[in-house]
Amino acid sequence: MTVVGTPAPASAGPAETLEPRAMTVPFPFSPSLLAERVAVVTGGATGIGLAIACALTEAGASVVITSRSAERLTAAEMEVARRTGRPVWSLPCDVREEDDVARLRDFVSARCGAAAIVVNNAAANFRMPAEKMTGRAMRAVLDTDLLGTYQVTRAFFDDLRSTGHGSVLSIGIAAVERGFPGYSHAGAAKAAIASLTASWASEWGPHGIRANCIAPGPVPTKGVWENMLGQPPSSAADAGAQAFAQYAQAVPLRRLGTPQDVAAAVVFLSSDLAGWITGVTLTVDGGLNLTLGP
């Protein structure tokens, strides 16, 4: 696992800004921390989801990843094996479709056993002014982010309960209460996920199930460049690179986040180290929310 040290300088080009300078350190968790536990990661083929899959695997979990793209899943399986020396399992799944989700539950049960960890990372996003947001555009994001999170978690409820130490983790966004200008559909979905998380924590605590939300700040993955800047990082405009560099200067820790930063929080909250933590939204943003004002 990689932990980022120094931030990319303000003059950095697109490639440098996308991947802030990093230093390799030993994996900070015991490789047996999550031994004998089964984890499901939706949207696990790329970006933050792939980093989460790697981290959970390194911590000893048996991991199943999903994506709508079978091609991306094949590449992700190879990448996890390359990084960790251990395999993961994968299954194409559209979290918007109940039949797909039911098939995923059966697949996990047959291959690995009862899931003790569910990470809701699958998401859709694209920029659109609120006044132009059609019902179809709104549903395109709500159905993946919110409905998908609900359907996957509900499908694995019996598994989570049976383990006695179930953990549900959903990926949100930092400072969601301030809104998400240009992405009101995604902001609404993530705010609702935070509420769902609190409801699950209250209702399912007596069953030994913990539910938490992780809210990352700016993590410039390839998907962020393509969905939010509208172009791949290799051809990103100078304005886009400068925007990310300015973000880094606004962060108290003076760097952007990395997928591994988010993945480390997932491992911690999935483990018994966080055994008395439930119903929280953990902001992972280098302190950026502190600079945004009330």
Strand partners for 213:
170, 281
pLDDT at 161 over 70: yes
Nearest by Cα to 53 from 37, 65, 70? 65
Look at residue 233 in the predicted model and tell me its pLDDT.
56
pLDDT at residue number 292: 76
pLDDT at 238: 53
| Domains recognised in the chain with CATH numbers | 31-219+258-283 (3.40.50.720), 220-256 (no CATH)
- Give the β-pairing of 89-92 and 62-67: parallel
CB 70 within 8 A of CB 144: no
pLDDT in tens, 56-100: 999 999 999 999 999 999 999 999 999 999 999 999 999 999 999
- The whole-number pLDDT of residue 147 equals 98
| Confidence at 289, pLDDT banded by 50, 70, 90 | confident
Q: pLDDT at position 8, please?
A: 34
278 CB-side CA count, 13 A: 21
Structure confidence at residue 28 (pLDDT): 87
pLDDT higher than threshold 90 for residue 246: no
Q: From CA 93, how far away is CA 73, in angstroms rounded?
A: 10
Distance CA 51, CA 209 (A): 24
- Using CA atoms, how far apart are residues 195 and 145, in angstroms rounded to an integer? 13
Least confident of 20-24, 28-32, 259-263, 267-271: 20-24
**pLDDT tens sequence across 28-46:** 899 999 999 999 999 999 9
Which carries the bigger pLDDT value, residue 44 or residue 125?
44
